Structure 1
Amino acid sequence: MSERILNQPLGGNQMPRFAGPATMMRLPSATSAQGLDACFVGVPFDIGTSNRAGARFGPRAIRAESCLLRPYNMATRAAPFDSLQIADIGDVAINTFNAQKSIDIITDAYDEILRHDCTPLTMGGDHTIALPILRAMRKKYGPVGLVHIDAHADINDSMFGEKIAHGTPFRRAVEEGLLDGKRVAQIGLRGTGYTAEDFDWPRSQGFRVVPAEECWYKSLAPLMAEIRDQVGGGPVYLSIDIDGLDPSFAPGTGTPEIGGLTIWQALEIIRGCRGLNIIGGDLVEISPPYDLSGNTALVGANLLFEMLCVLPKVQYRA
C-alpha cells in the first residue's frame, strides 16, 4: 500500500498570503469529514447573542487572518500536518431565522463529523453552539470533561425567558448529562454579575472555577498541571470564548470584560492540555464588526492552530 499523502496548508512561498483559497490556513476544502483525522468547521450562528451581534461573521474573519499561519509550531515543535489528515469542511448551514432549528441542524452536522472518527475544531459563532456540539459528543463519548476559557460561566438558567442562548449552554449541558462535572474547569471568569450564584452554581456541580484575579501576574503552567490531573482520565472538550482574554488583546467581541487573561496565558492553557484526550474544541464570540484591525480574528486563528497542535495523535519533531 502506498504511503498516505497528508494535506498541507498552501505555503506563503507558493502563493502570496493575500491570495489563494479562503479556507482555514489555506488548507484543502472538503465536503465531509470522511477520511479526515481532524477538521476545521464554521458555525456562523449568533442568534443567541445578548449584546453586540456579528459573531455570525466570525468563521469568515478567522479564515481570512489564518493565511498568516505556517504549518509548524516553533515553540512546541508540533507538526500537526505531518501527523494528521486535516481539511476545512466549510460551514454548517444554520437556519438564520430559527434558533431551535439551528441547534438541531448543528447537532446533526456534528453527529456526521463524529461518525467518521474526525475531531472537529469549530469557528464560531456565539457560545450557544457549544450545547448542540456537546449533545453530539455525548452520543459518541458519554459525558465529557471540559476546559473552558471565558469571562462568563454561561450557566444562566434563562435569558429573556429563553432556555437556550449564549449565556446558558453549560447549565443545559449539566442538566442533560453532557458533562462530567468533576472533570470541568472554567478559567478567566470575572466582571460584575447579578448574584453570587453566577460563579457559585458551577462550583456546586463540581466544576473548578478559576477567576481571572487568580491568574493575574503569573504563569498558568502550574495551574494547568493541576487541571490535567483533574480532567484527565477520559475525553475532554476545549471551549474558548475570546472574551476570556482581556479586551486589550481581543476587543472584537460581544460582551467584553476588563481584567482578563493575556494571550500568553491563553497559550499556556491550551499547551497545558497536551496529553489529554481532546475530542474537539471551539473558538467562539469573535465579532468582526467590532474588530476593525482584524487582531481579534488573528488571535482566534492562532489559538485554533494551538488547539490543533495538542490533539492526541499529533507528532512532535525532536
Structure 2
Amino acid sequence: MEEIRIEADGHLGPIDSSRIPRFAGAATFARLPRLDQVGRAEVKVVGVPFDAGVSYRPGARFGGNHVREASRLLRPYNPALDVSPFELVQVADAGDMAVNPFNINEAIETVQQNALELTADGASLVTLGGDHTIALPLLRAAAERAGEPVALLHFDAHLDTWDTYFGAEYTHGTPFRRAVEEGILDTEALSHVGTRGPLYGKKDLDDDRRFGFGIVTSSDVYYQGVAEIVAKLRERIGNRPLYVSVDIDVLDPAHAPGTGTPEAGGITSRELLEILRGLRGMNLVGGDVVEVAPAYDHAEITGVAASHVAYDLITLMADLRSSRTGARTRTETLPAGERKDA
C-alpha cells in the first residue's frame, strides 16, 4: 500500500488520514514514519516489550503495540499547547528493543545500551513499556547523556522505592531506589505524583523521604487542584534536566483498567494531561509510559489514555527543541488552567 504522508517544513509526518483510513496499514505511533524511513529524528518513540519484573498481573510486554494501535486516532495539531509537534521536529517510531524475557539483568543492560544508541545523535526518547523495571536503565542513559544526575517526576499509584521482592533487587517496584543508590537522580528534585493505597508499613514512607522524594498524592491533586500542583512541581524541579516516568496506574481504574496493579482513588486522565502540559518549557530530557496491560483493557480505555500521554510528552519535547533553535516563538508559558486562548 502506498503511504501518503503529511509533510511540513522538511519533516515527514503521519500518514494522511483524510486519504488513507486510520484503521488501514501497520500501526506505528500516531501513524508516524519508521526511523529507517527518515534516517534521523529529533524525537524517537521506542517500545520495550518486557514484563518479567512484575509482581502481580503480567501482560505489559504487549503494552507498546497496544498503545500504538490506540494512537491511530491522534492528529497532527495539539490544541491544548498550540503546537504541531510533527512540523517542528522530525518524530519517528524506532520500533521495539529486543530484550531477553528470561533474564532481568541482561534485559536491563540491553535497554540501557539501546537507549544510549538511540540518543547518540542528540535525540530525545519517549519509551513505551513494558513494566516499570525499564525505568532504571532509561534513567541511567538519560543521566549519562545529561552529564549529571537528573530530576525525576514520577506519576504512579505506587512509590516504586522498595528494596527487594523475593530477594530480587531489580523489579518494577524497585527502580527508583536503585537509581538513588546509583547516584543518577538529583535528590533535591524528586517527586511522586498520584500515589495512594495501602503500604507495607510507615517505613515505606520514611525510606522514601530519606531518598529525597516529595509526594503529591491523588488526594492532593483533588483538594489542591492542578494549577497549584504544577506550580509546586515547577518550583521544586527548576531548570534541571528532567525525566518524566508515567506508570499508567497513576490513573484511577475507571480511566485505566488495563494495568497490572490497579489501585482505587486515582487521578483522572484529564488531570494527568493537564499536569503534563503545565511542564511546558521545562528541561525535559526523556520520558516513558509503562504498565499498560491490554488483556485487562476493555474498550481500549487504557491504551487511548497512554497514547495521549505519550503524545503530550512528544509535544513538550518538540516545543522545547524548537524554542531553543528559534524555529518558532512559543506562546507565553502559563500554569495549567491559566493558559490564554491562542
Fold-level similarity (TM above 0.5)? yes
Letter in 1 for 2:62: F
Note the C-alpha offset of 1:287.
0.2
Q: Which residue of structure 1 lines up, in the alignment, with residue 335 of structure 2?
A: none
Letter in 2 for 1:298: V
CA deviations over 1:190-232 (Å, ceiling 9, x no partner): 1011011222322222221112221225531221112111112
Note the C-alpha offset of 1:98.
1.2
- Unaligned residue ranges in structure 2 (runs of 5+): 1-7, 323-327, 332-341
Instruction: Determine the C-alpha separation between the residues in 2 that align with 1:261 and 1:205.
Output: 24
Instruction: Determine the C-alpha separation between the residues in 1 that align with 2:267 and 2:291.
Output: 16
CA deviations over 1:264-305 (Å, ceiling 9, x no partner): 110121111111100010000000011121110111001110
1:243, 1:253 within 8 Å by CA — same for their partners in 2? yes
1:291, 1:297 within 8 Å by CA — same for their partners in 2? yes
2:222 is aligned with 1:250: no
Letter in 1 for 2:107: S
Instruction: Determine the C-alpha separation between the residues in 1 that align with 2:280 and 2:207.
Output: 28
Instruction: Determine the C-alpha separation between the residues in 2 that align with 1:84 and 1:25.
Output: 15
Q: 1:233 to 1:75 in 2, by over 3 A?
A: closer
Q: Which residue of structure 2 lines up, in the alignment, with residue 191 of structure 1?
A: 197
Q: Which residue of structure 2 lines up, in the alignment, with residue 226 of structure 1?
A: 232
2:90 is aligned with 1:82: no
CA deviations over 1:142-188 (Å, ceiling 9, x no partner): 20001110000100110111000000000000000110011111111
SS of aligned partner of 1:67: helix
Q: Which residue of structure 2 lines up, in the alignment, with residue 156 of structure 1?
A: 162
Q: 1:33 to 1:171 in 2, by over 3 A?
A: farther
Instruction: Determine the C-alpha separation between the residues in 1 that align with 2:274 and 2:207.
Output: 26
Letter in 1 for 2:191: A
2:177, 2:211 within 8 Å by CA — same for their partners in 1? no
Q: Which residue of structure 1 lines up, in the alignment, with residue 70 of structure 2?
A: 65
1:7, 1:28 within 8 Å by CA — same for their partners in 2? yes
SS of aligned partner of 1:215: helix
SS of aligned partner of 2:172: coil
User: In structure 2, which of residues 119, 122, 125 is the aligned counterpart of residue 114 of structure 1?
Assistant: 119
2:9, 2:88 within 8 Å by CA — same for their partners in 1? no
Q: Percent identity?
A: 44
Runs of 4+ in 1 over 6 A off after TM superposition: none
SS of aligned partner of 1:294: helix
1:182, 1:206 within 8 Å by CA — same for their partners in 2? yes
Q: Which residue of structure 2 lines up, in the alignment, with residue 132 of structure 1?
A: 137
Letter in 1 for 2:64: P
2:248, 2:292 within 8 Å by CA — same for their partners in 1? yes
Q: Which residue of structure 2 lines up, in the alignment, with residue 9 of structure 1?
A: 14
1:33, 1:118 within 8 Å by CA — same for their partners in 2? no
2:266 is aligned with 1:263: no
Q: 1:33 to 1:230 in 2, by over 3 A?
A: farther
- Unaligned residue ranges in structure 1 (runs of 5+): none
2:129, 2:291 within 8 Å by CA — same for their partners in 1? yes
2:234 is aligned with 1:202: no
Q: Which residue of structure 1 lines up, in the alignment, with residue 243 of structure 2?
A: 237
Q: 1:115 to 1:294 in 2, by over 3 A?
A: same
Instruction: Determine the C-alpha separation between the residues in 1 that align with 2:278 and 2:130.
Output: 25
SS of aligned partner of 2:233: helix
Q: Which residue of structure 2 lines up, in the alignment, with residue 51 of structure 1?
A: 56
Which moves more between the two structures, 162-171 or 210-219? Answer: 210-219
Q: Which residue of structure 1 lines up, in the alignment, with residue 101 of structure 2?
A: 96
Letter in 1 for 2:77: Y
SS of aligned partner of 1:8: strand
Instruction: Determine the C-alpha separation between the residues in 1 that align with 2:12 and 2:37.
Output: 15
Note the C-alpha offset of 1:308.
1.1
**Number of paired residues?**
316
User: In structure 1, which of residues 297, 308, 315 is the aligned counterpart of residue 303 of structure 2?
Assistant: 297
Query: So what's the TM-score if we normalise by structure 1?
Result: 0.96
SS of aligned partner of 1:172: helix
Letter in 2 for 1:280: G
- Aligned Cα root-mean-square deviation (Å): 1.6
Which moves more between the two structures, 285-294 or 161-170? Answer: 285-294
Which moves more between the two structures, 121-130 or 34-43? Answer: 34-43
1:57, 1:288 within 8 Å by CA — same for their partners in 2? yes
Q: Which residue of structure 1 lines up, in the alignment, with residue 321 of structure 2?
A: 313
Letter in 2 for 1:56: R
